[in-house]
Structure formats: C-alpha cells, structure tokens
Amino acid sequence: MNVVPLSLVAYAPLFLVAFVVALVTVGVLVPRVRRFALRVQAVQVGGASHGNGRRMHDGAVPNIGGIAILAGFLLAMLIGSIIAPAAIESYRVELLAIVLGGSLMALVGFIDDIWEVPAAMRLASQFLAAGILVVNGVRIDFVTNYFAGSGYVFMPEVLSVALTLLWVVGFTNAFNFIDGVDGLSSGIAAIASLSLFAVALQFPDRGASVLILAALAGAALGFLRHNFNPATITMGDSGAYLLGYVLAAVSVLGALKVTAAVTVMAPVLILALPVLNITHVTLRRLRRGANPTVAANDHLHDLLRSRSGSPRVTVYVLWGATLVLGALGMLLSQTPLVLLLGTVVAAVLLIGMVSYLRLREVGEERRRLATLAADELRAR
C-alpha cells in the first residue's frame, strides 16, 4: 500500500470534529478544574515523600487534571457518535464498553488522588474495568501469523481472556508509572494515539478506533497545554489510568485484530516506552529486594533527569523515543509513507505548538511579576 488510504478522506469529518472538541474542551476546563482543586486542597506538594522516593516538582500543584481529560474525551466521543453514527455502527457495543471502563478507571484514580485507595482495591477495579472489555467482545482472540507471513493464529478462550486482562491491566499501570515529569505522559499519549490512528486509518471498518484515538489525542494535547514544564496541574491517577486504559483497549479493538498486513508487534512497538519503563523498574526493585509496587525515584525518566539535569530535556528525549517507536510501528504495519511522514510531522507540530503556548504564558507571567516588583521598588 503506497498511497494515502481512502478511509482518511471518509473519516476526515469524524476525526477532525472529535479532535477539535476534545482539544478545546480540555483546554478550557483545565483552569476551572485547577481552581477547584486549589479550593479543596487536591494538590501534590513538591519535595514531599512518596513511597520510597520524593515528588520532584516545585510547590503545591493540583493533581486532579484527569477530570478535565475525561470530560473532553467523553464530549468528543458523544459528538463524534452523533455526526457519524454509521462509522461506528459495527463496533457500538465495544465502543460503549471502552467508554464505561475508562470512566470507571478515571473515577478510581480520582478517589485515589484525593484519599489514596489501597493497592489491592485499585488492582481489583482495574481487572473489573478490563473485564468489561472482555465480556463485550474487546479481546485478543487472534493475532496475525507473523512467522507464516499470512493468516491468523486463533487462541483458546481461556488464553484469550487471560491475555486481554493482563495486557489492559498491565499497560494501565505501566502508563501510570511513566507519569513522573511535567508533560511527559500527556505527550506520550498524544504521540501514541496519533500513531495508532495512522494504523487504524488503513482499514475501512475502523471508524470506532478512529473516533477514540482522535478524541484521545485531542484530550492529551489540550491537557499538555497546561501540563508542560512548569506545569500548572498534573493529571494524577485519574488521568493516567484513563489514558493508559483507553490506549490498551483501542489497541486491541483496532490494531491487533486486523489483516495479515499488520502484525501484533505494531501496537506493541507504538506503546513500548511505558512497558519498557515498568519492566525496568520492576526488575531493578526486585534485584535490590524492594517492593515493586512502592514508589521510588528509579524510573527511566528519573535516571535521565538526574543525568541531564533538566526536566525539559528528559521530556524531549522520551518524546523523541516514543515518536521513533511510533514510526517503527507504522512501518511494520505497512503504513503508506505519505501517511507515516504526515503523522510524524503532525505530532511534532501539534506538540510543539501547545508547548510553545505554555512557555509563552510562563514568559508573560515572569515579565508581569518583574514589572510589579520594579513598580514596588520605585514606590519605596
């Protein structure tokens, strides 16, 4: 396949509307959620102890930004479903299952952000949310026969259910683990969503995946507008659980169960960085006899930040790694070169634009404070 797929044109109104609605809604809601969080003291204090480590940001930063992400995502899904019902008709039940499970994850994360839910209860709720997918047909029941080059490998039902549960729960936690530097997780979510979006566009029956991924990318970028360093708000567990869960679910819905042109490795590559991080962290902690579930400053981003001395450099490097992995995943799925390059350029431009808006805002605030300080000195 060496031309832009016709589905790109067919789905254009759907993904453009979903993307813009999510982007604008989250961008508008975040300041309001931030004010609410400050009012109820839903904040993370920089430098405070966190498990066996410490929180590395400065000051008291609101930590329930996931509520804005959820609101923008749900509104985009609703409007997209209304304007293009035929595009999602064959996957309506599965789409509703993903929305329900994602909302449950955001709710559990929100409660954990405020009151701290025991680890066993968080894990049980994650398996419940993953079970919602399984009973509604979102499961890994076959994959492309990679070694034969064509055809499928079908799995026994028990293996299918177990693999789906482990993938969804595992990746949900992996994505939560990567949320440790301002802007990192929201940028990774945007890049991964756009990469999976390009894969889904190659098939004429992936309207549900296109809708979900466009809404997710818009929501992540809308949040990044306020989350880039120095962040005014963090997504907390509510946002990390939501984004991780939906990315895991949609990879099963639209990127694993496809024709022989796309192997199981494409979505695995696209989503690889959070998986590599949680694997690295778990092995390091087990090697030194520590509990893998207790927080510590030993993630990939922590190690890179300690070497670079800059949170922004850390984020740029890991965003770049995610983009490279996304491009490799698209190559493996035989994504047309024009679409692949367009996706990479779009990701760079969109992330660059929202990051620049945040940096400009920071610059204006600093100039305003400097002017006020100068005025006070003159008044004395």
Q: List pLDDT tens digits, range 68-111.
A: 999 999 999 999 999 888 878 888 899 999 999 999 999 999 99
246 and 138 Cβ atoms separated by less than 8 Å: no
| Residue 281, pLDDT above cutoff 60 | yes
* Contact predicate 224/356, CB 8 Å: no
Q: Measured between alpha carbons, how far is 154 from 179 in angstroms, rounded to an integer?
A: 35
Contacts of 36 (CB under 8 A, 6+ apart): 42, 64
Q: Is 134 helix (H, G, I), strand (E, B) or coil?
A: helix
| Banded pLDDT at 164 (limits 50, 70, 90) | very high
Report how far residue 331's alpha carbon sits from residue 340's, in angstroms, rounded to the nearest whole number.
Answer: 8
- DSSP bridge pairs for 53: 50
Amino acid occupying residue 265: M
Confidence of residue 295 (pLDDT cuts 50, 70, 90): confident
Residue 6 has pLDDT above 70, yes or no: no
All structural domains of the chain with their residue ranges: 6-379
Mean pLDDT, residues 28-37 taken together: 96
CB-count exposure of residue 195 (10 Å: 0-12, 13-18, 19+):
buried
Q: What is the predicted pLDDT for the residue at 377?
A: 77
Closest CA to 192 of 243, 238, 231: 243
Which carries the bigger pLDDT value, residue 125 or residue 10?
A: 125
Residue from 201, 160, 221 nearest 350 by CA: 221
